Structure 1
Amino acid sequence: MQTDNRLFDDFVKFMNGAAGTVAGMAREAEGATRERAREWIGGLDFVARDEFEAVKAMAVAARDENDALKARLAALEAQLAAKPARAPKAAS
């Protein structure tokens, strides 16, 4: 339904413009807030996710290597325990 009321049309245009302006201000405020948060968090001692994952992978590899060395040491100690002890040589 079309209206011939010019005042009402002007009011609707004004409100549409105001809504667009408020939406733009909200987007700008959100962007500024995000940027400030990034700056603040960037100053703290946080690590990036990829750096954390790399260190985590190295820790897993080190743990696996440690377990392998423990098993090797246990096998060598078992071999050493199975050998008869040698008598010390007498000094002349």
Structure 2
Amino acid sequence: MQTQNPFLDEIAKLTTAAMGMAQTAGEEARTAFRAQADRVAAELDLIRREEFEALKAEVAALRAEVDALRGKGEGA
């Protein structure tokens, strides 16, 4: 949008450019933070929640199978 005053036009352009740069800087900061968090998680040998839940379900299934096998062995 242009006004009658070229000075105000330049201020508007600079403000728009500054806002774009600030948004880009924020996105880059988020990306850097996420990369650092992933690196720390890898160094601490942490696992993701999905992996934990899958292992938890597998352990529960194995416990049920062991209990079932124990029940069959006791009846014989």
Shared fold per TM-score greater than 0.5: yes
* Number of the residue aligned with 2:68: 68
Q: RMSD over aligned Cα, in angstroms?
A: 2.3
Q: Which runs of 4+ in 1 moved over 6 A?
A: none
Greater shift, 22-31 or 43-52, is seen at: 43-52
Amino acid at match of 2:29: A
Identity of aligned residues (%): 31
Amino acid at match of 1:73: G
- Larger helix share, 1 or 2: 2
**Structure with the larger RCO, 1 or 2 (CA within 8 Å, 6+ apart):** 2
Gaps of 5+ in 1: 77-92
Gaps of 5+ in 2: none
TM-score normalised to the size of structure 1? 0.64
Q: Distance in 1 between matches of 2:3 and 2:52?
A: 63
Shift of 1:47: 2.4
Check 1:2–1:51 CA distance in 2 against 1; reply closer, same or farther (3 A cut): closer
Shift of 1:41: 1.0
Q: Distance in 2 between matches of 1:2 and 1:34?
A: 40
